[in-house]
Amino acid sequence: MPMVNPKSKVSGRPKICYRPILPSDLDTIEHLHGKLFPIRYESLFFQDVVNGHDIVSWGAVDRSRPEGQKDELIGFVTARIVLAKESEIVDILGYDSSKSDQTLIYILTLGVVEAYRNLGIGMKFCHFNLVYVLGGIICGPISASSAASSLIREVTKYASSIPTCRAVYLHVISYNNPAIFLYKKMSFKCVRRLQGFYFINGQHHDSYLFVYYVNGGRSPCSPLEFLTGIASYMRSGFKLIAARLRRNDERKISRWAKCKESHSLVSSTHNKKNMATECTRYECV
């Protein structure tokens, strides 16, 4: 099968679909990784990808290409399910140690042939039975501005379908501004900068760690959020105390008014009795 030239021009209006990466994609997936990434991956990695060994994957294809090429990959994403307690981001997840089955999705690689980036086209997608990433294909429209964003969306939907999954996370090299912009646009949060994470061609490069939370997952409060929460709690407490004091004051005023009224009635009755006595005694008219 002829392979896509990453820099070739796309003619016409491509019709992009998404399907699982298959064993028949082995040569293409190796070729694309070699063209798109400065890091070299071992052959075992590609075997695991195409055979689904602990790796889930999606491939993007252009159905509008000529016969023999319409099922050829023009983009891909690979990911792995990991236990939250064994991940490097366990300290920023607010991990509940009583729930040892909590998982995460780690995006391993994501790439799109250059000619298919940022086309702004209305794409089609192929949705797969996520119990096993192969299944009946159902095509329908989605709103997506690029193949990369659609591939990411497939991963986040897959993560959301797993009840124990709390987040999708990934690393991106610090100088890859288009990727950083894309992840932020897709609602990923940059939570950490890792010094010298990558070692490429004899040089160290920093990495950003991005996280996308699913199924109620969230990071622990930052110091600012913690202080804001404390302030809000104190304000609520002060309001409650003030309300109680007002109610107590109202009760005191009410009791005082009743006591005054009762005292007036007693005094009035007492005075009437005295007057009656005096009138009887002195025959007052």
Average pLDDT value for residue range 131-139? 27
| C-beta of residue 192 within 8 angstroms of C-beta of residue 174 | no
In this predicted structure, the answer to whether residue 46 has a pLDDT above a threshold of 90 is yes
Residue 257: pLDDT band (50, 70, 90) is: low
The tally of CA atoms less than 13 A away on the side-chain side of residue 19 is 19
Tens digits of residue pLDDT in 150-174? 899 999 999 999 999 999 999 999 9
Q: Which residue has the higher pLDDT, 164 or 236?
A: 164
Region 21-33: what's the mean pLDDT? 95
**Beta-strand pair 138-141/103-112:** unpaired
Mean per-residue pLDDT of the chain:
75
Residue 100, CA atoms < 13 Å, CB-side half-sphere: 0
State how far the alpha carbon of 10 is from the alpha carbons of 64, 65, 75, 76, 118, in Å: 10, 9, 14, 18, 12
Q: What is the pLDDT of residue 191?
A: 94
For 41-74, b where at least 16 C-beta lie within 10 A, e where not — what string? beeebbebbbebeebbbbbbbbeebeeeeebbbb
- Give CA separation, 234 vs 224, 230, 240, 245, in Å: 15, 6, 10, 16
pLDDT of residue 73 exceeding 80, the answer is yes
**Is residue 63 over pLDDT 70?**
yes
Helices (H) and strands (E) in the chain, counts: 5, 9
CB atoms within 10 A of CB 135: 13
Residue found under tokens 């002829």: 2
Question: What is the band of 110 on the pLDDT scale with cuts at 50, 70, 90?
Answer: very high
d(CA 192, CA 174): 11
Half-sphere exposure of 249 (CA within 13 A, CB side): 6
